[in-house]
Structure 1
Amino acid sequence: MLISLKYKKALVGGASQGLGLAVAKQLAASGASVTIMARNEEKLKTVVAALPVSENQKHNYLVADFSDFEKYKKIIDHYFLSNQVDILVNNTNGPKAGTVLEKTSEDYLSAFNLLFQTVQYTTAKVVKGMKENKYGRIINLTSRTIKEPVDNLALSNTIRAAVVAWGKTLSRDVGKYNITVNNILTGNFDTERLAELFETQAKMLHTTVEEITKKSITDIPLQRLGMPEELANVVAFLASEQAAYVTGASIPVDGGLLKSI
């Protein structure tokens, strides 16, 4: 199966590193013109310069801080004054770790703006053009923790579950326009974000990052961390014509880590 995204325009969040970066590379390698979003402009410039251009695509970037929702809205509003998007990959940086008992109402509101409001707002902007074009792919990168909550990730567990429920609901509203909406439940991938989480866990449990990593791998049936490129391959499929009948799905990409069905 040859996946071609030639002539498609993609917008990818959190794409200066980690999973977002891998997704941006794969979509570009499949022929899409990709606009990436993140906070660090120097990293964004470096990534854009390195993205594949085998189909003479034009790639771009937006300097956007998902944690500042009001400023983020202005950036997105300006972008969509002159742009349309065929493929939207909603991906944001995660909130700070912590237990339910530690987090305040303000913490939950901040996490809601970071993980949900930015996703909903961006999606609302792309849907209009997708409806007019009778084509669209909306892919939300969430987490396997929405099915099996992980200790010390109270904010992420809670708000990402809302994103998945919202995505499922949206898929039923936009399907008639040939727009698909799917959620990817990510497992443990070899990224900077996972390294930070392991470091936090190690401090809490008074152990080493190596021990936390070893325990994490032991729990994964495939006995290894995932590579970002492996998740990017799934995103590219969902973004393609070949996945036209896949919508409203929440797909674990976790090496079998989830025990639930």
Structure 2
Amino acid sequence: MKIQLIGKNALVGASTGGIGYGVATVLAECGANVTLMARNEAKLKKAVELLPAVHNEQSHSYLVVDFLEYEKYRQRISEFVQRNPIDILINNTNGPKPGTALNMDMASYQTAFDLLFKTVCETTTLVLPHMIAKKQGRIINVSSITIKEPSASLVLSNTIRSATAAWAKTLSKEVASYNITVNTILTGYFDTERISHLINEEASLGILTTEEIRKKREAHVPMKRLGKPEEYGHLVAFLASEYAAYLTGANIPLDGGLLNNV
């Protein structure tokens, strides 16, 4: 089975590194034209230059946005989508700050809602008219296994990502007749800057070192390792392809077997 995405236009959020860049790279390897989104233009330029091109007409680009500035983001993405129809949307953002339910204030919940729900909803709503007219499209949401098994230190992610997954399931039923699929990936432990940041936050408590925390996480995964960003990209490429045309409304764990509550 060889996945071909030639002629498809993909938009990938938070894609200068980590899971986002792993996804963008694999989509490019499959022939898609990829647009990267992130807030650091220097990193975006470098990332675009490194994306592979497998055929002459393939082209890649970038869009400078900050997911944490919702109103500016809404304006930028609206202007972009009007000029650039999207066939494959990867809803991925930077994660909200860690913290527990007892130490989080209402402003933090609102910031996380704007980041993890409103940007996803806004972007998806904007790309749907093209997909509906074409009667084909792929919407893939990057989420977390914490919506199934909440983490005590990630209350914002637990809460808002759960709402986003419920919205995505609802949407999947409404657009299925147009051959548009909507799926959500429940992310486990991947070797990225995000997990390094979370490990550093935990290490700051002074109980365990960063190395001890990392080894503890690896030992907790049945496969005894962290995931690789390119492995994430392989699943996304499958979901973006015609091979996954009958798969929609799913919450798919990608976690090395970590999740217990499926």
Match of 1:53 in 2: 53
Q: CA RMSD in A?
A: 0.7
SS of equivalent residue, structure 1 residue 58? coil
1:20 and 2:20 aligned? yes
| Unaligned residue ranges in structure 2 (runs of 5+) | none
CA distance in 1, matches of 2:235, 2:78: 29
Match of 2:100 in 1: 99
| Unaligned residue ranges in structure 1 (runs of 5+) | none
The one-letter amino acid paired with 2:207 is H
4+ runs of 1 displaced by more than 2 Å?
Answer: none
Once the two structures are superposed, residues 72-109 of structure 1 have per-residue CA deviations (whole angstroms, 9 ceiling, x without a partner) of 01101110221100000000000111111111111100
Match of 1:32 in 2: 32
SS of equivalent residue, structure 1 residue 37? strand
Using structure 1 for the length normalisation, give the TM-score.
0.99
The one-letter amino acid paired with 1:83 is N
Give 1:205 deviation, angstroms.
5.3
1:200 and 2:234 aligned? no
CA distance in 1, matches of 2:205, 2:185: 28
Once the two structures are superposed, residues 186-245 of structure 1 have per-residue CA deviations (whole angstroms, 9 ceiling, x without a partner) of 000000110000111122352201111111111110011111111110000000011000
Match of 1:259 in 2: 260
CA distance in 1, matches of 2:60, 2:126: 20
Give 1:55 deviation, angstroms.
1.9
Match of 2:243 in 1: 242
Give 1:53 deviation, angstroms.
1.2
Using structure 2 for the length normalisation, give the TM-score.
0.98
SS of equivalent residue, structure 1 residue 204? coil
1:42-81 correspondence runs (5 A): 42-56=42-56, 57-81=58-82
The one-letter amino acid paired with 1:179 is I
1:232 and 2:228 aligned? no
Match of 2:109 in 1: 108
Percent identity of equivalent pairs: 55
CA distance in 1, matches of 2:23, 2:188: 15
Once the two structures are superposed, residues 119-169 of structure 1 have per-residue CA deviations (whole angstroms, 9 ceiling, x without a partner) of 000000000000000000000000000000112101011001111111111
SS of equivalent residue, structure 1 residue 182? strand
Matched residues, number: 261
SS of equivalent residue, structure 1 residue 174? helix
